Structures are given as C-alpha cells and as structure tokens.
Amino acid sequence: MKTIALNTVKPDIFSESDVSGSEIWLKNICFEKQNTYLIFSESGKGKSSLFDFIYCRRNDYSGEIMFDGKNVKAFNSNQKRELRSNHISLVFQGFRLFEELTAMENIEIKNRLTNHKTKRQIEEMFEQMGISSKINSPLSLLSFGQKQRVAIIRSLCQPFDFLLLDETFSHLDETNYTIACSLIAAEVKNQNAALMVASLGETYKFNYNYKIRL
C-alpha cells in the first residue's frame, strides 16, 4: 500500500466549528509511504479518532478514507484483517495489551500472524528497551512505562507500510524514548514505510517531512 488519502473527512461527533483551523479534517490530504509525519494538536481534537479511522476500528465519520484509491468503508472483515496484519501497525494510546499474559506472549500473538521477527530478534528488542527482565512476567505486574515499551515492540513485529504512533512516549523518560525512537526509525527505514506520529506538540527524535495541525 502506497497512499492513504482523506477526502473531506470529519468525525461525526464534531461540528464544522470544532474542526476550524485543522489541516486534516474537512480537507483533502494524502499520506505517502517513505515519509514521516507529525500530527499535532491540543487534547480533544481527534488524534486517536483519526488513527482509529485509518486502522478501520471505527467508521463514525463523514467523507472518504482511501487506501490506494479504495474506500475503506467498503472493506469486508477479511480485508480489514489483512490490512492490520500486513500494511498498518498502530501503537494504541491505551495499549490494548492482555494483562493476563506475559510480555512475550503479548508479542507472540502478533508475531505468529506473519512470523515477521525471530524469537531472538524480539529478545534483543526487550534488551535494548531495558525490560529483558520482564519478558516472562505477567503484564499485570509491569509498570505503565514498561507496558508502553511492550506495546512499541509489538507494533514492530509485523510487516507494515504505515506505522501509527498515538502519543506513544508519554510515560518514558528521555533515555528510554530515545532508544524507542531509534528502534522505530530503524524498522520504518527497513520496511520503506511511512511513520505517522500523533502528539500534543512534542516532536520527539524523528526527522519529519511534514508537520500537520489536526
């Protein structure tokens, strides 16, 4: 997949006045592979909604979202599943991890779908992220910041054309988010993918082609 185009998209819960000043809502905009995008706004402007729409989790919006010219609202369940397995990866703001499983088991659920990473490669990411001692611990025993790192690792354990980060570094100190940014940037480059970062304004450590106000 090479492009994601939004054509006059607006969340149903917003009025036209709610989206005034946005460079995305009610506009025509196209996101392309191999570019890095910062999407910034204050809280309540729909950053998570935007990513939910692109990830086909929700369709409560007007307008069109097109993947390589195909309207996602016409996709069936199998097409959406294939999209999430091979084309779009998302680090959810709320993680959506399984508390009763270990950190590694949470990763394996994703990785088994495509066998994108070897077990050793996953272990190396845990080591780089400073949580190798937690790899076999139930997620319920991990801190919020440790869970955040597990969610980041999971997002990298699949093929993708677009990687979406929804305020992903909120509970990481500078050392850990620097390491996380380095891992993310390397995987995005390796897959010739696009990176889309939703932020309250922090730019983090990426080189952006475009900075867009939501």
CA 12 to chain centroid: 22
Which pLDDT score, from 0 to 100, does residue 172 have?
87
Indicate if the pLDDT at residue 67 is higher than 90: yes
Indicate if the pLDDT at residue 193 is higher than 90: yes
Q: Which two tokens stand for residue 40?
A: 């910034």
As a whole number of angstroms, the distance between CA 155 and CA 164 comes to 9
Mean pLDDT of the chain: 94
Structural domain boundaries, residue 138: 3-213
Q: Which residue has the tokens 């990298």?
A: 156
Which pLDDT score, from 0 to 100, does residue 26 have?
97
Indicate if the pLDDT at residue 201 is higher than 90: no
Indicate if the pLDDT at residue 41 is higher than 90: yes
**3-11 and 88-91 strand pairing:** unpaired
Q: For the CA atoms of 65, 31, 50, 174, what is the dihedral angle to 10 degrees?
A: 160
Number of domain units in the chain: 1
For residue 172, give the amino acid letter. L
Indicate if the pLDDT at residue 154 is higher than 90: yes
Which pLDDT score, from 0 to 100, does residue 28 have?
98
Q: Which two tokens stand for residue 49?
A: 């909604």
Q: Which two tokens stand for residue 94?
A: 């709320």
As a whole number of angstroms, the distance between CA 85 and CA 90 comes to 11
Which pLDDT score, from 0 to 100, does residue 202 have?
82
Residue 203: pLDDT band with limits 50, 70, 90: confident
Residue 83: pLDDT band with limits 50, 70, 90: very high
φ, ψ dihedrals at 135, nearest 5°: -60, -35
pTM (2 d.p.): 0.95
As a whole number of angstroms, the distance between CA 83 and CA 66 comes to 13
Which pLDDT score, from 0 to 100, does residue 170 have?
81
Which domain CATH number covers 131? 3.40.50.300
Which 3-state string (H, E, C) describes 80-104? HHHHHHHCEEEECCCCCCCCCCEHH
As a whole number of angstroms, the distance between CA 21 and CA 178 comes to 31
